[in-house]
Structure 1
Amino acid sequence: MGTRRRNVARIALGAAFAAIALAACAPDPGPPPTTSLAGENLTSWDMATIVSGTCNPAGESTFTLEVSGDAAGPYPGTFTETMSVILGPQTEEFLPGQFRGHVTSFESTATITGANGPVSVASTLDASSFTAGVCSNSASGPWTITGQIYVDVDYQATAGPATASGTANVQFNMIAGNCSCTGSAPEFHHTFAS
């Protein structure tokens, strides 16, 4: 009986060492794969809709916006994007009698849907870059606020297990109120440079 117990113990110990050895030899999955959004363009023929916000040309203006449209590039399909913008005082005269302010905060989340799978993108303001924005209030008419925003952003994206990061540019016209304001050219651009 003693010899048999010793043999069983040896077999159990050998199996444990084998399991440890196999676990040690398992390949390291490594970091998640990376992808690139370079060349991706999100465009809409419609102005970005101001869901909420206030326009104060002499002070701080804040906006929450949403837009949807077409995606082209490495991830073709459609997109939806929501944005939060803070625009500083519009004191810089860029044309005679026309003033603009600097964008002090910009955050957005976008979802691209298409044949290459869904992509989630989060963007934040590149504070070291040129930014500009204008807004104005309408006393009458079908809209209450109109404006334009131009910013450079840094982004983080996920497409399944793959990740991406880089820089992009966002520029758009915006509106609040009852206006089907589709222009002769796209009113919204989110262009990925890297």
Structure 2
Amino acid sequence: MKINREMVTRAGLKLLNEIGLEQLTLRRLGVELEVQAATIYWHFKSKEALLDEMATTVLTEGAANLVPRRRSGDWKVWASTYGEGLRKTLMAYRDGGRMVSGTKLTTTAPLKTTERIAAVLVGAGFSVRGAVVLLSTINYYTQSFVMEEQAVFPTPGERSPLYEIADRDAQLDAAEFPNHRQASGILFDRFDRRYKEGLELIVRGAELEIARKRAKRR
């Protein structure tokens, strides 16, 4: 069978959902596509190169998640939507957070959306540096959060035995670690709520900072 670069990338994303990032190899992809490993290596010289292309595909196709569905001039809506949309995009694939983290874009397509978001921030009074710092902070927070979330729930709705809350609490003396025992349910459950709370802290901090700078210029 004759294959091309896109076919390999799509097969890689499909296999990622089936076996996870650790088991995904170019040789395993060759088996999946019923071609010799050399054929896969013709298109991608390494697993890292394949992951770069897979991540770029995921981010490009998830770009619509990063901007508000309804027209809004509120920069806070744009910043929050960027974070929530990125999380949704990464969560669409098994190990999506780890897969995207540390990769390099192979095209500028995903940058068109972040350029649009940055323009809204600059229009609202952010400097370019301020917009970059805010969006990169949201990006890092979201990727790290998703990696932790997917460690607890490798597949949606199925908690890893390593993160059973009752087992963790049983190892913590209630008198010595009262706060840690209460933290278990916060750290390892109800991720939607905690993500929004963390994102709100970032956006609120940016709001206070931009208000401070405006007041200083007066």
Is the TM-score greater than 0.5?
Answer: no
> Which is helix-richer, 1 or 2?
2
> Which is strand-richer, 1 or 2?
1
